[in-house]
Amino acid sequence: MSLNIGMLKHASGGIIRDEDSFSESFVPERLPHREKELELLESAMVSKSGRIAGNAYIMGKPGLGKTALSLRFAINISKEISIKYLHVNCRKYRTSSLVLHKIMKGLSSGLPERGLSLQEALMAFEELIKDKNILIILDEIGYLRDGGDLLYSLFRISEGSGARPPAIILISREWTPDYLLDRSISSFITIRIALEPYTKEEIMDILRYRAEIGLFSGSYDDDILSMIAEIAARGGDARLALSMLYQSAMFAEANKSDRITPEHVRMAISMDQPLTDRRALMSLELHEKVLLLAISNLLEKSSDAWIPMGKVEEEYRMLCEMYGIPPFKHTALWRRIKSLDKAGFITTRRSGKGVKGQTTLISLEGAPSSSISSELKKDLSILLKVKED
């Protein structure tokens, strides 16, 4: 997920307290809902004598905390025992020689810049790691084209030499590279961890924790975090959630607001997902357009993320009167609410605590309410003028 929002000037308002806490390289002190996996790594890879040994394989979809889990483990262990850990992203370094040279540069700055063959590099690597605790994290291992040769050599580097083999954490997405299925390599893997997608509640916990670190108190509330979690939970993607929170904060500061509003969140969502397709918007029937305009108008004027069905009906009837068209009754409107929800223009939920009685709450997603409102107003003015002619 890209945080490419350089077009926004950073305002002087007080929303973001620590920008670094939203960068992809940031490793938080705590990993909410990954504590169990962190304990598994520690128990499997750290011996009672204080040596780090063994190899782990972590897999899962993007945004599930694979890299943060590995680096948090490395940082924690480095505080207790003397180790050197190195992280290499194989999406950037895609051959065994490049990966090994990157690792060796991390161990010794005096290496020659010229490329070494894999065998030359392995011989030099043996000398560098003698009697040392080394942890290597190979991220995005699926992009390493000849990874089988490198891993086989690293796993068996101690044979015939005095070198202590490095501990290795392999990270991949939800698919496993073929060479990791080879028994000569897979037998060296001590522990396998498959990360499950985060639930909405888990993403809420992650957002609360990161907001406490990175945002000023009072600049957000749980409704804002819930809007973001609702979207990100569809893929269980915490990285997407944190990106949208940061973007929302940037939009708030650019607008010189002292708080993140639902409209700022919708603006951020529209950057991570395509804006509502204009052709799909224009293909709606007349009363669906008026109903969606009513929802957009209310949300544009409100600081709330959700509005009750009753207010939507009132706004819809007022717009029908303004445009000179007879309004539909409740049952016909309800069918169109369900249709808009199914098409992805809106999202609905039942009211909970804090709302008197039971009602349907409605929100927009995928585009700012102001953008949808503007498009619909232009279209309706043309459409109804044509009808009058």
Q: Per residue in 188-197, pLDDT tens? A: 999 999 999 9
Give the mean pLDDT of the chain: 85
CATH of the domain at 249: 1.10.8.60
Q: Tell me which of 270-274, 282-286, 290-294, 372-376 is least confident.
A: 270-274
pLDDT at residue 49 is higher than 80:
no
Is 81 part of any domain? yes
pLDDT of 98 higher than 90: no
Q: Is 242 within a domain?
A: yes
Mean predicted confidence (pLDDT) in 333-344: 89
Q: Are residues 127 and 50 in the same domain?
A: yes
Banded model confidence at residue 121, pLDDT cuts 50, 70, 90: confident
**162 and 258 fall within a common domain:** no
Which of 148, 169, 194 is the endpoint of a domain? Answer: 194
Is the residue at 11 inside a domain?
no
Confidence of residue 311 (pLDDT cuts 50, 70, 90): very high
Residue 335: CATH number of its domain: 1.10.10.10
Question: What is the rounded average pLDDT of the residues 5-30?
Answer: 74
Residue 93 has pLDDT above 50, yes or no: yes
Does residue 137 form part of some domain? yes
Residue written as tokens 């940031």?
Answer: 26
Assess whether 311 and 211 both reside in one domain. Answer: no
Co-location of 235 and 172 in the same domain: no
* Residue 114 assigned to a binding site: no
- Parent domain of 222: 200-272
Q: pLDDT-based confidence at 268, cuts 50/70/90?
A: confident
DSSP code per residue over 40-76: HHHHHHB-TTS-B--EEEEE--TTSSHHHHHHHHHHH
Average pLDDT over residues 18-36: 94
- What's the average model confidence in pLDDT over 228-245? 92
What pLDDT band is residue 177 in, cutting at 50, 70 and 90? confident
User: Same domain, yes or no, for 267 and 286?
Assistant: no
User: Is the domain of 44 the same as that of 185?
Assistant: yes
- Out of 86-95, 175-184, 357-366, give the one with best mean pLDDT: 86-95
Same structural domain for residues 40 and 184? Answer: yes
- Residue 133: give its domain's CATH number: 3.40.50.300
Q: Is residue 21 part of a domain?
A: no
Tell me if 28 is assigned to some domain: no
**In this structure, is residue 94 part of a structural domain?**
yes
Which of the listed residues 247, 272, 297 is the one where a domain comes to its end? 272
**Does residue 316 have a pLDDT over 50?**
yes
Query: Which of 235, 254, 272 is the endpoint of a domain?
Result: 272
pTM of the model: 0.76
The region of weakest confidence among 3-12, 139-148, 252-261 is 3-12
Q: CA distances (Å), 364 to each of 9, 47, 60, 307, 320, in order? A: 26, 53, 30, 10, 21
Q: What confidence category does residue 277 fall into, taking pLDDT thresholds of 50, 70 and 90?
A: low
Nearest-10 crossing angle of helices 238-254, 200-214: 40
Mean pLDDT of 352-374: 75
More confident residue, 234 or 118: 234
> Between these two residues, 172 and 163, which has the higher pLDDT value?
172
* pLDDT band for position 112 (cuts 50, 70, 90): low
Q: Mean pLDDT lowest for which of 93-97, 159-163, 212-216?
A: 159-163
Angstrom distance (rounded) from CA 193 to CA 179 = 18
- Whether 43 and 183 map to the same domain: the answer is yes
Q: Which long-range contacts (CB under 8 A, 24 or more apart) does 151-159 make?
A: 151/179, 151/180, 151/185, 151/188, 152/184, 152/185, 153/118, 153/122, 155/55, 155/185, 155/188, 157/122, 157/125, 157/126, 157/129
46 and 134 inside one domain: yes
**What is the pLDDT confidence band of residue 278, given thresholds at 50, 70 and 90?**
low
Checking if the pLDDT of 353 tops 70, the result is no
220 assigned ligand-binding residue:
no
Give the range with max mean pLDDT: 125-139, 264-278, 287-301, 360-374. Answer: 287-301
- Are residues 232 and 186 part of one domain? no
* Residue type for position 281: L
Q: Is pLDDT of 75 > 80?
A: yes
How many structural domains are present in the chain? Answer: 3
Q: Which two tokens stand for residue 171?
A: 């990270």
368 pLDDT above the threshold of 80 = no
pLDDT of residue 357: 57
Residues 287 and 139 in one domain: no
**For residue 358, what are its two tokens?**
């039971």
Q: Are 228 and 304 members of one domain?
A: no
pLDDT on residue 47: 80
- Greatest mean pLDDT among 34-48, 64-78, 292-306: 64-78
- Of the two residues 225 and 266, the one the predictor is more confident about is 225
- Examine residue 139 and state whether it is found in any structural domain, yes or no: yes
pLDDT at 170: 97
CA within 13 Å, CB half, 106: 17
